[in-house]
Amino acid sequence: MRGDAIIDAERLTKRYGEIVAVDSVSFEVPEGEIFGLLGPNGAGKTTTIGILSCLVTPTAGSARICGIDVTKDSLGVRSKIGVVPQEIALYPTLSARDNLVFWGRMYGVPDHALKQRIEEILETVELSDRADSRIDTFSGGMKRRVNIAAGLLHRPSVLFLDEPTVGIDPQTRRSILELVVELNDHGLTVLYTTHYLEEAEFLCNRIGIMDEGKMLAIGTKEELTATIGATGVIAVSADGMDESIVGWLRSLDAVADAALVESELTINVIAGPNLLPALVEKLTSSGAAVHSVDVTVPNLESVFLHLTGKSLRDRDGSPAEGEPVGKKT
Amino acid sequence: MKALRIALKDLRIRLRDRNTLILMLLLPVGLTAVIGFAFGGDAGISAVEFLLVSPEEDGFPAGDFLTGAAANFLSQIEIFDVEVATREEATRAVSEGEKSAAILVPEGLREAILEGTPAEVVVLRDPASDIKAGIVQSVVERFVTYASAGGIVGRAIFETLEEERPLTDGERWQLTGWMLRWMYDRYREPAIGIQAADTEVEDVNVHAYFAPSFAVLFLLFTMLGSAKSIHEERESGTYDRLMTAPVSRATFIGGKLTGSYLLAAVQMLILILLGSIVFGIRWGSHPGAVVVMALVTAAGASSLAVLIASIARTGSQVDNVGTAVILVMSLLGGSMWPVEQAPAAFQNIARFTFNYWAHSGFKKLVFLDAGLAGIAQEIAIVGAMSIVFFALSVRLLSRR
Amino acid sequence: MKKVLYIIAHNLRVLRSDRSAFFWLLAMPLVFTFVLGIMIRDGGGGSGEPPRYALTVANLDEGEHGAALLEAIEEADEIDLLVVEGPDAGAEAEALVEDGDRSAALVIPADFSALLEAGEGAALTFHRNPERMNPLVTRQAVEKIVSRLNVSALAGAGVLEGYEHLWGAVPEERAPELTARADRFVEEASETPPLTVRVETLGRGPEEDAPAMGFSHSSPAMALMYVLLNGLMASVFLVTERRERTLMRLFTTPVRRSTIIVANLGWRFVVGMIQIWFLIGFGALVFRVDWGDSPVGLLAVTVTYVAAVAGLSVLIGSVARTSRQAESLSLVLALTMCALGGLWWPLEITPRAYQRVGHMIPTGWAMDAMHNLISRGYTLAGVAPQALVLAGFAAAFTVAAVLTFRHE
């Protein structure tokens, strides 16, 4: 696979003084894949994308996009990639079309092709009718779509999407995820960073889990969940729990991992349901007020818990309510 | 009480912002210092450098008392820095702007004065120098007027007496000797003298003139920034949040106005204090009147800024419209130069601006040592402006 | 390098989408040029209508000398006279000055004629408002009138005293005849004074029918000031581009860093050139400002000055962390440079040290170049030193801007 990988990162490292933002990260993304970088804020995802898009010079390691080294031929790399920043990096007082013309030119799209491409892309992001309105009159979702469109004009070999759904409403989130799927269906390779595990599960062919600058595991969702050796996940919502319960759980053979975040207790279980009675009794006797207990199959949350001993959910809050893609029960 | 809380919160936000402090204090003090630097010094103007060109090739003849007297007269003027040069040198130095002007003394200067034969003093001016070359020109004109007048007086005496009774050579010599002494005495004590009325204040202190101007100008800018927060609160959603709390709209407006006012008062008082400390400005002998004027000015500026904010629809409109209004008003109202030098029409327009009256009040305090009674007119007008601006903005804001 | 032009065109478009830009770049400088021009022209120093200075006169004297003086003042063109009468006229005139209604007042004392006739000196009292500059000029005008009267008095007295010196006491019946003759001589001789002053302004000098004296001062200064002010304020755009991440995004496209920097300098340069030549053109056509004989020299000066401003603008934009910081920094730098560079008042009147400071910054050199072009009629060679120094500033600012330029 090494030969035809679109992205090939080898032991990428970025230090800022004492801080190691990215620590020897390696991964490959073959053509046509949606590859997810999953991890909490500060895990090093954005720095990794920064190195791959030539914004950040790596302290060590190397990376190639379509076989071009990012440190040796940055212009060559940049013409192969489309980068969609987390922020709406557009000119608010210009129209959508003016913005796209500008970015198209910057990507070196020839003038004769540009007009046609813009029409096509506006069609794809369903904004043809608002093409000549100023960006600052757009809703958040429309801005996001133009933001993505601006990265597609030059038909990049790979699209970098950096947390494109942070802080937006469920409908917009759905439309963006659908857009990514559609683009991928047409053959576009996508590098997608997120800290929402539901998005990673829904979108990505393969997922790399990052934390504190390190790549902890890479694989399909199934491969990743298989590694934890757990057969089930118990999620308890209760008031009055403390860390002693986690200690107790970890001492049990039936428990692979356990983590407590505020009033949510997550347990990766090796031998499923027979833990429940003991757990409930322990909770009740310790004075906790149990609101709910869910038993599910392992997911990426369980993987993250397994790998880091932490929950992914504690950093930035969960996706908004009414989440359309998640499989949480 | 809640209004005061809002006001104090605004004050705290503003005073924490380094940029506000730059605009509030550093710029007005800095510009006043620069102006003081420009116009300071004892003479109020830097040395006027010019050249004196003799009609003789080898400079001024030592024995010629008239040209000597002329050079002496010129060198006695403190701000003058005279050097002697040849005509070629003078023409070059003046046309290249090295010296402001050159005076070409004519050959027949002595005869012109004593015998009335025509002669011409030429002043060469640097085209790019208006003020200094102008000073040299006017001094030469005055000298020539006096010298001519002296010559005329002398000849009048001679001619009249000659006509009365033909003079012998001895009488001529006698008369000439007497006349020179006499004229010297009489010229120093002309029949009609002009004496300046007693004014307790020394010459115009440049700092004292411009410090209040810039204080008012930048007070307006600070106030604009402060009034803009009405829109910022709306745009950032904190206004809506406040409205969900048990805070009435009137309380909100009251709080905003009070906050602006407090900031304005703080700025004005600090600038006045800095003026005393940094520039040694004496704000007159009525501290009470100074404080009242400062507080009234603060009221005027803050209510004017809030009025601009209440007319504007967005924060950036406040910036644009407000800055334009402030600049034009300061231009017309004399915050940028002495408006009394402007034509009458401009002076009449100036009377409609807030800056004019605020500045006028401070000038009276400093230069005329006016007390409260002396600046009653200014206090009344600025106060009335404040009330009108305030009423208008409350009306506009509460309609929103 | 097509992309440089694309980015420049793009930025002009962004600027155009801001409706207030037109106002700040073009309308505001014209308003200032206009008002300042009127002030300079009518406020003295120009060649328009001669300025008139307000003077209030209270004549407490009932004799002929007081009346003669008042008449002479009335005839003076430069004085805008107000006569107050009545027993309290003196106090009234003084009060008018103190209230700031009138700049200056002259009080002719009640014993004025009596003193003069007795051959004793008489003093007029001059009141001036200490907060104003004009009374100094007014006083000079009054002195001129008084000196004319003094000359007549002097000649009259001199004839009598000279007679006495030579031949003893003047017969009483001859005295009036002698003084009258001396007076007549003075009057005649004064009409064609032997010694005159001719003023020769070197260089091009002002044109014969220069109606725009005031504007020829305010136009160059205001053009330089607003190009500087607006130019430096444009540093905010760079901060905004960083904050909104469009600059970072630009760095992910196949565009060189150098292209991005050149374009950032370039569009500021283009806007500055449009602005300064608009103001020059407007000044020439509407205010009838004479910009000298050397369009090439003017071009060299404007190109280098605007380039220096553009470099400094990008530098500020690179150094500033927030747009408010960029704004404050630009405002402080622009205003200080205007004041120090002689854009607000001529450098010639400032102390040497001040003039040296003024020549450590671009504005001082640019103003010198303007004087050389407009007043001295220099051509390109004459303003080459200034243009070279300005180019040096442009280069230094640009290098500093390149070194500090960053996308985040």
C175 vs C162: CA distance, rounded Å: 12
Inter-chain CB proximity C131 and B41 less than 8 Å:
no
Convert C286-303 to b/e letters by CB count within 10 Å (16 or more is b). Answer: ebebbbbebeebbebbbb
Which residues on adjacent β-strands are paired with residue B52? B84, B103
Q: Which residue of B has its CA nearest to C336?
A: B31
Q: Which residues, other chains included, contact B117 with Cβ-Cβ below 8 Å and sequence gap of 6+?
A: B108, B111, C194
A165 vs A194: CA distance, rounded Å: 8
A320 vs A168: CA distance, rounded Å: 8
Write out the two tokens for B112. Answer: 């012109």
Residue reference for tokens 């004292």: B208
Q: Which residue of A has its CA nearest to C17?
A: A93
In contact, B67 and B17? CB cutoff 8 Å:
no
Distance from CA of A141 to the nearest CA of C (A): 17
C195 touches chain B (CB under 8 A): yes
Domain range for C148 is 53-191
Domain parsing of chain A, residue ranges:
5-224, 231-297
Neighbours of B, requiring at least 3 CB pairs below 8 Å, are: C
Residue reference for tokens 């793009």: C10
Of B34, B116, B340, the CB nearest to C340: B34
Inter-chain CB proximity B337 and C39 less than 8 Å:
yes
Dihedral angle, C-alpha B289, B293, B298, B304, nearest 10 °: 160
Q: Which of C390, C386, C388, C350 is nearest to C369 (CA)?
A: C386
Distance from CA of C393 to the nearest CA of B (A): 22
Q: Which of B314, B293, B262, B301 is nearest to B390 (CA)?
A: B301
The DSSP string of B70-99 is HHHHHHHSTTEEEEEE-HHHHHHHHHTTSS
Q: How many CB atoms within 10 Å of residue B43?
A: 13
Distance from CA of A89 to the nearest CA of C (A): 4
B388 vs B392: CA distance, rounded Å: 6
Pairing of strands A264-269, A255-261: antiparallel
Residues C36 and C136 in one domain: no
Residues C33 and C61 in one domain: no
Q: What single-letter amino acid sits at A26?
A: S
**In a domain? residue C380:** yes
**In a domain? residue C207:** no
Q: What are phi and psi of B208, to 5 degrees?
A: -65, -30
Distance from CA of A246 to the nearest CA of C (A): 42
Run of H or E residues at A218: strand A214-219
**In a domain? residue C48:** no
Run of H or E residues at A61: strand A60-65
B126 contacts in chain C (CB < 8 Å)? 202-203, 375
In contact, A90 and A135? CB cutoff 8 Å:
yes
Of C18, C244, C254, the CB nearest to A107: C254
**Residue A96: its pLDDT value, please?**
94
Inter-chain CB proximity B149 and C23 less than 8 Å:
no
Please, what CATH class does the domain formed by B48-188 belong to? Answer: alpha beta
Distance from CA of C294 to the nearest CA of B (A): 16
Residues C122 and C221 in one domain: no
Inter-chain CB proximity A106 and C251 less than 8 Å:
no
Residues C35 and C86 in one domain: no
Q: Which residue of B has its CA nearest to C374?
A: B128
Per-residue pLDDT of chain C (408 residues; tens, 9 = 90+): 788 989 999 988 888 887 777 778 888 888 888 877 776 665 444 444 556 778 889 998 888 888 888 888 888 877 888 888 888 888 888 888 877 677 788 999 888 888 887 777 788 888 887 666 667 678 878 887 887 788 888 888 888 888 888 888 888 888 888 888 888 888 888 778 788 888 887 776 555 444 445 677 788 988 999 999 999 999 999 999 999 899 999 999 999 999 999 999 999 999 999 999 999 999 888 888 889 889 999 999 999 999 999 999 999 999 999 888 898 889 889 988 998 998 888 888 788 888 899 999 999 999 999 989 988 888 999 999 999 999 999 999 999 999 999 887
**In a domain? residue C206:** no
Domain parsing of chain B, residue ranges:
2-40+204-399, 48-188
In contact, C306 and C273? CB cutoff 8 Å:
yes
> Where would I find the beta strands (DSSP E) of A148-201?
158-162, 189-194
In contact, A27 and A5? CB cutoff 8 Å:
no
**In a domain? residue C202:** no
Fold observed for domain A5-224: Rossmann fold (3.40.50)
Inter-chain CB proximity B341 and C44 less than 8 Å:
yes
Three state DSSP letters for chain C = CHHHHHHHHHHHHHHHCCHHHHHHHHHHHHHHHHHHHHHHHHCCCCCCCCCCEEEEEEECCCCHHHHHHHHHHHHCCCEEEEEECCCCHHHHHHHHHHCCCCCEEEEECCCHHHHHHCCCCEEEEEEECCCCCHHHHHHHHHHHHHHHHHHHHHHHHHHHHHHHHHHCCCCCCCHHHHHHHHHHHHHHHHHCCCEEEEEEECCCCCCCCCCCHHHHHHHHHHHHHHHHHHHHHCHHHHHHHHHCCHHHHHHCCCCCHHHHHHHHHHHHHHHHHHHHHHHHHHHHHCCCCCCCCCHHHHHHHHHHHHHHHHHHHHHHHHHCCCHHHHHHHHHHHHHHHHHHCCCCCCHHHCCHHHHHHHCCCHHHHHHHHHHHHHCCCCCHHHHHHHHHHHHHHHHHHHHHHHHHCCCC
C13 touches chain A (CB under 8 A): yes
Inter-chain CB proximity C196 and B121 less than 8 Å:
yes
Q: What is the pLDDT of residues C175-207, one digit of tens each?
A: 888 888 888 888 888 778 788 888 887 776 555
Q: What single-letter amino acid sits at B162?
A: E
Q: What are phi and psi of A321, to 5 degrees?
A: -60, 155
Inter-chain CB proximity C254 and A150 less than 8 Å:
no
In contact, B48 and B42? CB cutoff 8 Å:
no
Of C148, C348, C351, the CB nearest to B100: C348
In contact, A152 and A144? CB cutoff 8 Å:
no
Inter-chain CB proximity A85 and C249 less than 8 Å:
yes
Q: Which residues, other chains included, contact A184 with Cβ-Cβ below 8 Å and sequence gap of 6+?
A: A32, A34, A190
Per-residue pLDDT of chain A (329 residues; tens, 9 = 90+): 445 789 999 999 999 988 999 999 999 999 999 999 999 888 999 999 999 999 999 999 999 999 999 999 989 999 999 999 988 999 988 999 999 999 999 999 998 999 999 999 999 888 999 999 999 899 888 999 999 999 999 999 999 999 988 878 888 888 899 999 999 999 999 999 998 888 998 999 999 999 999 999 999 988 988 887 777 888 888 888 888 888 888 888 888 888 888 788 888 888 655 788 888 888 888 888 888 888 888 888 888 888 887 777 654 444 433 344 433 33
The DSSP string of B251-310 is HHHHHHHHHHHHHHHHHHHHHHHHHHHHH-----S-HHHHHHHHHHHHHHHHHHHHHHHH
Inter-chain CB proximity C158 and B179 less than 8 Å:
yes
Tally of domains in chain C: 2
Q: Which residue of B has its CA nearest to C146?
A: B192
C144 touches chain A (CB under 8 A): no
Q: Which residue of B has its CA nearest to C50?
A: B343
Is domain A231-297 in CATH 3.30.70.100, yes or no? yes
Write out the two tokens for A255. Answer: 């428990």
Q: Which of C62, A46, C34 is nearest to B331 (CA)?
A: C34
Helix (H, G, I), strand (E, B) or coil at A9: strand
Residues C75 and C155 in one domain: yes
A151 vs A162: CA distance, rounded Å: 12
Neighbours of A, requiring at least 3 CB pairs below 8 Å, are: C
Q: How many CA atoms lie within 13 A of C281 on its CB side?
A: 7
In contact, B131 and B101? CB cutoff 8 Å:
no
Among C191, C224, C245, identify where a domain stops: C191
Among C144, C160, C191, identify where a domain stops: C191
Residues C88 and C144 in one domain: yes
Residues C181 and C286 in one domain: no
